[in-house]
Chain A
Amino acid sequence: QSALTQPPSVSGSPGQSVTISCTGTSSDVGSYNRVSWYQQPPGTAPKLMIYDVSNRPSGVPDRFSGSKSGNTASLTISGLQAEDEADYYCSSYTSSSTYVFGTGTKVIVL
């Protein structure tokens, strides 16, 4: 299984919106609404931010939102804040009952 494709980095000024794409195949992202997103500041474990494409766990700000179209999922951060600077990874369940992660995107707050 190949890693899902994400842009290496995205950037924005405080208050702006950024969107991270996550492109897979019909065997993973396109097959199920089982895409999740994780935030990972340097030196820390990943933290769940979005599950099942667009659901936020308790405690995650509503500035974070997710969507999916075909084989591509997206994470949007609205009202960007300095504390949002981190690496972000998507993940998808696959038709082989395995999991695959994205290549990762560094969010830079200018």
Chain B
Amino acid sequence: QVQLQESGPGLVKPSQTLSLTCTVSGGSISSGNYYWSWIRQPAGKGLEWIGRIYTSGSTSYNPSLKSRITISVDTSKNQFSLKLNSVTAADTAVYYCASHSWSGYYFDYWGQGTLVTVSS
């Protein structure tokens, strides 16, 4: 059973870069069996898919965020990461990491989520 855990700063200043890491346990991130995604949710609002990465490094991003996002994978640490630059208050949200199998199109494993606040 795959388990995911987000980590990173809970407070980021406007215009700076938000950096989060998702640690994967219960499975190897390099197995090729899963895609690894980031999803966020502003307080009281809906879910927004940010982007995903495959073990090979192949990525797909939300077009509305694409210019500010980088998702990468570190197989040696069994982690994948999100960098979102030039943040504003609108980027304040709970950020989830999630995964889906290479053959599926649904998110069956989720982290517990981490709140990131953008404020000076």
List A residues at the B interface (Cβ < 8 Å): 1, 3, 32, 34, 36, 38, 45-48, 51-52, 57, 89, 91, 93, 96-104
Contacts and interface: CB of A to CB of B under 8 A. Distances in A.
Interface stretch (B12-20, B57-65, B85-93): B57-65
B110 A46 contact: yes
Contacts of A96: 63
Secondary structure of the B side of the interface?
loop
Which of A3, A46, A57, A97 counts the most chain B CB atoms within 10 A?
A46
20 contacts: A36-B105, A36-B107, A38-B47, A46-B96, A48-B106, A51-B106, A52-B106, A89-B46, A89-B47, A91-B47, A91-B107, A96-B63, A97-B60, A98-B60, A98-B61, A99-B52, A100-B49, A101-B47, A101-B48, A103-B46
Interface string B55-89: 00000111110000000000000000000000000
Contacts of B45: 104
The size bracket of the interface on B is: 20 to 34
Contact of B46 (A36, A45, A57, A101): A101
Contact of A99 (B46, B49, B64, B108): B49
Nearest to A87: B46
Contact of A45 (B60, B62, B106, B110): B110
Contacts of B52: 99
